[in-house]
Amino acid sequence: MPEKLREEIFQYRKNDDRIRLLAGKLLLLKAIHKLEFNHKILEQYIPDTMGKPQLPSFFPFNITHSGHVVACAVLQGNGLIGIDCEKIRPIDVIKFTKQFSPQEMQWILSAPDPQERFFDAWTMKEAVMKADGRGMRIPLHSIRLQQTYATIDDRKGFWYLYKLPTPPSHPSHICSPEKIQSIETIEVNATELFKT
């Protein structure tokens, strides 16, 4: 692991956060190997002007972690990719009316389990923010959700959304402004990952 990545990991105080961050980097390394790139490209790991990590000699990628799930998305080719995962936890859904449109809030509250639907919608919006590259600089209310895509008020075009087969307790989505023809998921348990 390059020194700058080790430094990034050890900036976090909590050991659980360090482990999740390390796991994300190890998943990226696994993808680098699987796609037959040299692992030394990790030394090129830098944030772009908006702070989104990138590897100039590799494909676009994005990493997320929440609870006991860590995921890395890689887009083979050019383009933008975002991924978000959230652990479902107790929240007061009605307090988020500023982040969701009335139609989105109705969709959330009409679900058999509004908490689950809320986190599903939240991961959709965060995946869009991460794919766009501006992250939290995009107000959540300016992202308009549909079933399989979203729009952003100040951008043209659609942001296509794909639900991932993560555990129901950790909903997650991938987003890209281009339609993705196929998604290959590889599940890796922690023991196998940390042997890398």
Question: pLDDT tens digits, the chain, 196 residues: what are they?
Answer: 888 888 888 888 898 889 999 999 999 999 999 999 999 999 999 888 888 889 999 999 999 999 889 999 999 989 999 999 999 999 999 999 999 999 999 999 999 999 999 999 999 999 999 999 998 899 999 999 998 999 999 999 999 999 999 899 999 999 999 999 888 887 777 667 676 5
Cβ atoms of 159 and 128 closer than 8 Å? yes
- Please state, in angstroms and rounded to a whole number, the distance separating the CA atoms of residues 121 and 108: 8
Q: What is the DSSP string of 153-164?
A: TTS-S-EEEEE-
Two tokens, residue 104:
């989105």
* d(C-alpha 2, C-alpha 35), whole Å: 20
Burial of 138 (0-12, 13-18, 19+ CB in 10 A): buried
Which long-range contacts (C-beta less than 8 Å, at least 24 apart) are formed by 193-196?
Answer: 193/23, 193/26, 193/27, 193/30, 194/23, 194/26, 196/26, 196/29, 196/30
Spatial contact of 36 and 25, defined as CB atoms under 8 Å apart: no
CA-based nearest residue to 157, from 126, 131, 189: 131
pTM metric for this prediction: 0.92
Structural domains for the chain: 59-193 (3.90.470.20)
State the CB neighbour count (10 A cutoff) for residue 78: 8
Q: Where are the alpha helices (DSSP H) in 96-154?
A: 102-109, 114-132
Tokens representing 15 are: 């050991």
Spell out the residues 6+ positions from residue 30 whose beta carbon is closer than 8 angstroms to its own: 72, 186, 188, 193, 196
